[in-house]
Structure formats: C-alpha cells, structure tokens
Amino acid sequence: KPRSLSGMQPTADSLHLGNYLGALQQWVQLQDSHDALYFIADLHAITVDYDPAQLRSRTRRTAAQFLAAGVDPDRSILFVQSQIAAHPRLSWVLECLTGMGEAARMTQFKDKSAKQERVSVGLLTYPMLMAADILIYDADRVPVGEDQRQHLEISRDLAERFNSRFGKSLVVPEPHIIKQTAKVYDLQEPTAKMSKSASSPLGILNLLDSPKALSKKIKSAVTDTGTEVRFDRDTKPGISNLLTIYSALSGKSIGTLEDEYAGKQYGHLKVDLAEVVVEYFAPIRERTEEYLADPAQLDAILGDGAKRASAIADATVARVYDSVGFLPRV
Ligand code: AQP
C-alpha cells in the first residue's frame, strides 16, 4: 500500500473547518487505500510564543478531535511528534542541505515572522523539520491544504537533493490537495484563508463551537452585493465560500445547490447551511468530549502510536546517517 502522512499543530483549543475540509477529512478517507500515519505537530508549535500548560492541553484536544473525526488507531498510526526522537535527528541533516536564502524565501516564514516581535531560528527551519516529518516515514502522499503546497515543494526538493548527493534513499512525496476544499475562506473576510490566527473569531467555524455560536457566525457571514446565489470566486467570494462549505458537508454538488437556491435570498442559504454545519459538527464534538474525559486512554493510544512510528523512523534515520557518513554506534 502507498503511505499517507500528515500532521497539524496543537495551536488552538479547537480545529476549524479549514483544517477539517482541507486536511482531516482527506486523512480519514485515505485510511482505506493507504498505510496511514497522522500526528500532532507539537515541535512545530513551539516555533512561536506559547504557554506550556496550554500546549499540553491542546495536544490532547487535537488528538481527541482527530479520533472523533474518524482517524482510527487500528488502521492508522496516530502519534505526538515530540515523542519520536528521530524527527529532529533527520531535520538537522536536511537543515545542512538547505540554503539560508531558500529558507528565508518561504511565504509562511515571511508572513509569520512579520507578525512576531521575536523571530526564532525554529520558525526559519520549520520547513526542514516538516520535510523530516514526511521523509522519515517514506510517505508517498501528504494530504494538506493549499497553504502547505510550498512546504511540500521544498520537502520534495530536499529528498531529491539528498538522493542525488548521497544515493537514492528517500521517497519523493506527492501533495494530496483536493481542489474544491484546498482553501476554505474566512467568513468575515472571504478572500483570506480561514485561520486560527484570524483577526475576528466570527470568521472561523470551530469544530467544537456550540450550535448557537456556529449559527450566529454563519448568519453574520459577509456576503456580496447582488442577490443571486451563484458560485463565482471573483465577483461573489462570500457566497462562493458558503456554497463550497455547503457542498463539502452535504455531498450535493455546487450546481445542484445553485439550482435549489435559484430565486431565493442569501438568507435562506444561510439558515439551511447553519443547520447542515450544526448537524455535521455535533457528533464530532460529542466524541471529542468522550475522548477528553479519559486522558489516560488517550495517552495510551498515543503511546502505542509512538512505538509503532518510532520503529519506522529509527530505521530511516539509521539508513540516512549511514549514507551521510556518520559512524554507526556499536
Ligand atoms: N483555510 C484552510 N483551508 C484549507 N485547509 C487549511 N488548513 C489550514 N487552514 C486551511 C490546513 O490544515 C492543516 C493545519 O496545519 P497546521 O496546524 O500546521 O496549521 P496552519 O497551516 O498554520 O493553519 P491554521 O490552522 O489556519 O493556523 P495559522 O493561523 O497558523 O495559519 C494544514 O494541512 C493546512 O493546509
């Protein structure tokens, strides 16, 4: 079986709909056809300011949401990145293969460093650690949202660079980006990505929001001038975003939805979408609460995942360290 791998940072109490549609939903689907590994990227989360107690709680919350959304520990390896010692061991080698200019050109680095008072070296080397996360498991496919495309590209470049310098040893991964939901937009600013760090909480639909909060956010979503419910990213970014979300969660095509809402007001679409979102999120929220009620069981699932992930990662690092000329420990 080909291998699917992806991770998310535990940087919020709840995942948002962009995280779910852009990535998590694909993770769950790929479990059938792929050997799957999914992880909570806590090493990445400390590249910006954070609170240790909050990080620990968010790591468990993120794991609980993955499980609640359908990541199945019997079919996938679910683990916490910091529990696998091999990731930073490989990323060091990849950092030494990366140019300073190349790292500093990354869009996410430029965006995030512009927002920080103190820019850490870790923020600069973030993509090399991400490349290590992927390459260490010989991953074939990486299900992510559009914003991660550039990081995937550098992971591929690093694999190719390593292979041409030290002999073919690393698998060159393919991004798995589903066009329709690769970028979910902010409800208040429908030309910007829905993001944990958005300026207004009203723009983000969180998996763990209450039904009341979800409805309120959808009903106050920014729409466009005009009245026609029609998909057009350029002239109707607000309505197009709502249609994308509606379609992804209901399974109805955008064309079908346009027909259903022909001659109706934006308000009708919002009322119905609110119902669809509330119903879709409710079981995920309930199951998340159940997992969180038993942290010992959650930690045991993660511990088991770490054991299985380590076995794969340690073998890759041994192979890589031998290729680059490090002396084996006897
Ligand atoms: N709006 C989005 N639409 C589609 N996919 C998205 N992803 C994030 N936002 C959207 C995907 O979700 C995963 C989250 O990865 P991460 O935890 O490393 O977070 P991130 O990329 O930094 O995105 P966030 O959650 O929105 O946080 P900030 O505010 O830091 O940008 C990735 O697969 C990502 O593509």
> Is any ligand 1 atom within 6 A of the Cβ of residue 195?
yes
User: Residues annotated in the binding site for L-tryptophan, as ranges?
Assistant: 133
Whole-structure pTM value:
0.96
Contacts of 4 (CB under 8 A, 6+ apart): 27, 30, 31, 34, 35, 36, 37, 139, 140, 141, 142, 143, 176
Q: What is the pLDDT of residue 152?
A: 97
Residue nearest to atom 15 of ligand 1 (CA): 8
3-class DSSP state for residue 259? helix
Catalytic positions, written as ranges: 112, 193, 196
3-class DSSP state for residue 98? coil
> Is any ligand 1 atom within 6 A of the Cβ of residue 205?
no
> Is any ligand 1 atom within 6 A of the Cβ of residue 177?
no
The Cα–Cα gap between 113 and 310 comes to 32
The Cα–Cα gap between 161 and 65 comes to 36
How high is the mean pLDDT in each 10-residue block of the chain (330 residues)?
A: 98 98 98 97 97 98 98 98 98 98 95 92 98 98 97 98 96 96 96 89 97 98 92 95 98 97 94 98 98 98 98 98 95
CA-CA-CA-CA dihedral for 176, 194, 204, 129, to nearest 10: 60
User: Residues annotated in the binding site, as ranges?
Assistant: 9-11, 18-19, 133, 145-147, 184, 193-197
Please give the single-letter amino acid code of residue 240: S
> Is any ligand 1 atom within 6 A of the Cβ of residue 230?
no
CA of 175 to the centre of ligand 1 (A): 15
Residue nearest to atom 2 of ligand 1 (CA): 18
Q: What is the pLDDT of residue 178?
A: 95
CA of 171 to the centre of ligand 1 (A): 24
| Residue burial 126-163, b: 16+ Cβ < 10 Å; e: rest | bbbbbbbbbbbbbbbbbbbbbbbeebbebbbebbeebe
Phi, psi torsion values for 174, nearest 5 degrees: -105, 135
What is the helix (H) or strand (E) element at residue 76, kind and residue range?
strand 76-80
The Cα–Cα gap between 51 and 80 comes to 17
The Cα–Cα gap between 163 and 236 comes to 46
Q: What is the pLDDT of residue 307?
A: 98
> Is any ligand 1 atom within 6 A of the Cβ of residue 136?
no
SS3 letters across 134-165: HHCCCCCEEECCHHHHHHHHHHHHHHHHHHHH
CA of 260 to the centre of ligand 1 (A): 31
Pocket test for ligand 1, best of 39, 47, 147 (most atoms within 8 A of CB): 147
